[in-house]
Structure 1
Amino acid sequence: MRGTAIGILTFFSMFLAAAGARSAERWAELPAFPSMPAAKTSGMAEVNDIKMYYAEYGEGDPILFIHGGLGNAEVWGHQVADFARDHRVIVADSRGHGRSTRSGQPFGYDLMTSDCVALLDYLKIEKVTLVGWSDGGIIGIDMAMKHPEKLTRVIAQAANVTTDGVKNDVLENKTFSHYIEVAGDQYRKLSPTPTEYQAFSRQMFEMWATQPAWTAAELAKISVPVTLAIGDHDEAVKLDHTEMMAKDIPGAKLVILKDASHFAMLQDPAGYDAMIRDAMAGR
């Protein structure tokens, strides 16, 4: 009996250890946003009908990092620390997000893309590598179609080009729901309208219900180099949709980020940064 009891206890211990390991899978967690390095310059640029927050770091060839929906530039702390060593890094809060203001205009990707173009003009930057996550990646693809002269390349992670590229159960996902809560906390801390997160997020959900809606023919006209990255456990964007995008965009490269989700830049910063450097080197 004693041997049997020991065996049961051993099995139970192994079961608990395995369960703990499963719960600790990095793709199932939302790490805290990292601290941002001290900016070289920062400010509020008057673009279109808003004031858009931006910050700059380092020197060299410029890289513009654009965050995802409901978020802000603080998500890029790991990447800023890495790339500011040898690049001019620019981060910005999209209209209505973070420290940037919003107007009465409905949110739309063309409008947010025009904000980024106006920011580059404000900063007197002719061309950038644009790294975009989620909505930021969609903005990068939009810019590749509408303003290719502004781009050296686009690196878009977890982007979609039609609404059916988004998983139907994304809002039921624990990690994504946690992100929405964190985004709300940060909005209340950073926004010039800290009490309006519910109204702001409702406007964003209204945009997501109908946008983007690009055709294969529109994507086929893209002429700048594009890298499409997606985590192998992405909670929001369908893998087969990303594969379709890679086929429709001429010369696009598809990268699957291992053991990562929609929030890969936080979950695996070293792997994420290596992906960006490979894309910039044409690998």
Structure 2
Amino acid sequence: MYSLIAGVASLGTAMAEPRWEMLPETPELPAAGREGEAPVNGIKIWHAVYGSGEPVLMLHGGLGNSNYWGNQISTLAGSYQVIVMDSRGHGRSTRDDRPYSYDLMATDVVALMDFLKLPKAVIVGWSDGAIIGLKLAIDHPERVSRVFAFAANSKPSGLHNLNDSVLFKTYVDRTREEYEKLSPTPRGYDDFHEEMKQMWNAQPDLAEEALGNIHVPVWVVDGDHEEVVRREDTLFLSDSIPGSGLLIQPEVSHFSLLQDPEQFTDHILHFLGRE
């Protein structure tokens, strides 16, 4: 297994509190070259497209929305065609009455790629988005060129008890406010959150055999202060995926993309340049 451990950041930086305990503000998205709603898979998927070049499709975490990628897009769009999408029932996207599942959300990604006429794309995923990226590598490998999987878990037992995380509770409170501003069903957050918890309690099920059949380049990535995913589960993923890279980012948590956006973007760029 290819292994990469990020170096320790410089000591002596005075901070009021460790950045891995902070949840910086959700950034705004830059102005898109084009954006809209794609009528796919029986729903409407909101998406935006930036830049040109090799397609890089960025998938956000559960309860969140595409705005969370706002710190990464401009830099990446200087060299790549960057696509962000709100997952079904998240952000500005709609949903139908089918229960949430990673399999279903993976088919949404493929449907959006068909709509945008993208034969293949790099997947950059955070949390639920990383799980969806791995599902695509397993079930639709012809549509995926590589996967940057940040903070994925392989099974429900790979998660810590989220009731114990103050930072995750802060995130949930924030996503409620964002949902009310963005969603076409602004009063539906409680039902939405409850259904997502039901999915998290039962899914995913990324078995060793299925992970062993992944043959696209993958980096399994997480923060050294990850408070949501158990470290042993991250190592299980990296050990099970043939030839995968393992990257542990320093001084960040499950919300690394906000806590140290420059580091997170640099790691994506390094991944994209990997031969």
Residue 194 of structure 2 corresponds to residue 202 of structure 1: yes
Query: 1:144 Cα shift?
Result: 0.3
Q: Aligned partners of 2:218, 2:163: CA distance in 1, in Å?
A: 28
Query: 1:254 Cα shift?
Result: 0.5
What is the match of residue 77 of structure 1? 70
Residue 36 of structure 2 corresponds to residue 24 of structure 1: no
What is the match of residue 172 of structure 1? 164
| Aligned ranges 1:107-146 → 2 under 5 Å | 107-146=100-139
Q: Aligned partners of 2:245, 2:238: CA distance in 1, in Å?
A: 6
The 3-state SS of whatever aligns with 1:106 is: coil
Q: Aligned partners of 1:245, 1:88: CA distance in 2, in Å?
A: 28
The 3-state SS of whatever aligns with 2:222 is: strand
What is the match of residue 61 of structure 2? 68
The 3-state SS of whatever aligns with 1:35 is: coil
- RMSD between aligned residues: 1.0
Residue 149 of structure 1, aligned match among 135, 142, 150 = 142
Residue 232 of structure 2 corresponds to residue 240 of structure 1: yes
What is the match of residue 192 of structure 1? 184
Q: Aligned partners of 1:269, 1:22: CA distance in 2, in Å?
A: 17
Q: Aligned partners of 1:109, 1:43: CA distance in 2, in Å?
A: 23
Q: TM-score, normalised by structure 1?
A: 0.91
Q: Which amino acid aligns with 1:269?
A: P
Query: 1:22 Cα shift?
Result: 6.9
Residue 153 of structure 2 corresponds to residue 182 of structure 1: no
Q: Which amino acid aligns with 2:39?
A: E
Residue 215 of structure 2 corresponds to residue 216 of structure 1: no
Residue 88 of structure 1, aligned match among 70, 81, 88 = 81
| Aligned ranges 1:252-263 → 2 under 5 Å | 252-263=244-255
> Relative to structure 2, which stretch is displaced further, 129-138 or 238-247?
238-247
What is the match of residue 282 of structure 1? 274
What is the match of residue 9 of structure 2? none
Q: Aligned partners of 1:136, 1:34: CA distance in 2, in Å?
A: 18
Structure 1 outlier segments of 4+, above 2 Å: none
Q: Aligned partners of 2:147, 2:169: CA distance in 1, in Å?
A: 28
Unaligned ranges ≥5, structure 2:
1-13
Q: Which amino acid aligns with 1:54?
A: H
Q: TM-score, normalised by structure 2?
A: 0.93
Question: 1:101–1:144: structure 2 CA closer, same or farther, 3 Å change rule?
Answer: same
Q: Aligned partners of 2:239, 2:55: CA distance in 1, in Å?
A: 28
Aligned length: 262
Query: 1:23 Cα shift?
Result: 5.2
> Hey, which of these two has a bigger chunk of helix by percent?
1
Q: Which amino acid aligns with 1:26?
A: R
Query: Would you say the 8 A contact 2:217–2:244 is kept in 1?
Result: yes
